[in-house]
Copies of this chain bind each other. A is one copy, B any other.
């Protein structure tokens, strides 16, 4: 059976040793500077190139496995379904926003998104799709139930869940991701992330809140 690579492509069963290899790819990746060659990966992971090709098929397979590997690490926590009142909603939204900001501003996310963007540019857009599904769309699917539960509880009002989510997405992310991808050296401290998450949540509730809107804030 020559295609051990297929096993990795189909399910996410990764042996510990393979995990080490993928961690080496990640390490190399966020070292940046174009260092991501197959030879470099093999050296870093102390394995042979032949093993890399046996396990992952080719360079794209290795990158794909790495993206999946990283995605499998960051399955973030969910929200608390019962007793959803205004405070709990705001808290959950803030948590989502803060988590999302922390993810997109991490070096790992930036590096992986850059690779995926470059990959998408060259036609075969597998990586782009995978990153999108595990990032933008995954958080959408996780957040939408909260939004709809909050709507049913009469806390917020909207017609189109997708549109509401996209607005939230925009309020949270703003220009952060594109700036980071393009190499702008902004750094988000934990405090800034918390403040941004709170601001975005306030703004979102002002736009979509059903009862009396959240207090207007003019700064930030």
Contact = CB atoms under 8 A, between A and B. Distances in A.
A33 interface: yes
Contacts of A169: 174-175
Given A118-B114, A170-B174, A174-B167, A128 B182 contact: yes
Contact of A218 (B111, B121, B131, B157): B157
A177 interface: yes
A205 to B, nearest CB: 11
A173 interface: yes
Interface in A113-136: 113-118, 120-123, 125, 128-129, 131-132, 136
A206 interface: yes
Contacts of A218: 157-159, 208
A203 interface: yes
A171 interface: yes
A116 to B, nearest CB: 6
The count of identical subunits is 2
Interface centre among A33, A117, A128 (most CB of B within 10 A): A117
Given A32-B123, A118-B114, A218-B157, A136 B175 contact: yes
Contacts of A163: 219-220
A88 interface: no
Contact of A117 (B117, B172, B173, B203): B117
Interface centre among A121, A125, A158, A208 (most CB of B within 10 A): A121
A59 interface: no
B220 A160 contact: yes
A11 interface: no
B118 A121 contact: yes
Nearest to A123: B33
A125 B157 contact: no
17 contacts: A32-B122, A33-B123, A34-B123, A114-B120, A118-B118, A118-B121, A128-B184, A132-B183, A157-B218, A159-B218, A163-B219, A169-B175, A170-B170, A177-B178, A181-B181, A206-B207, A207-B207
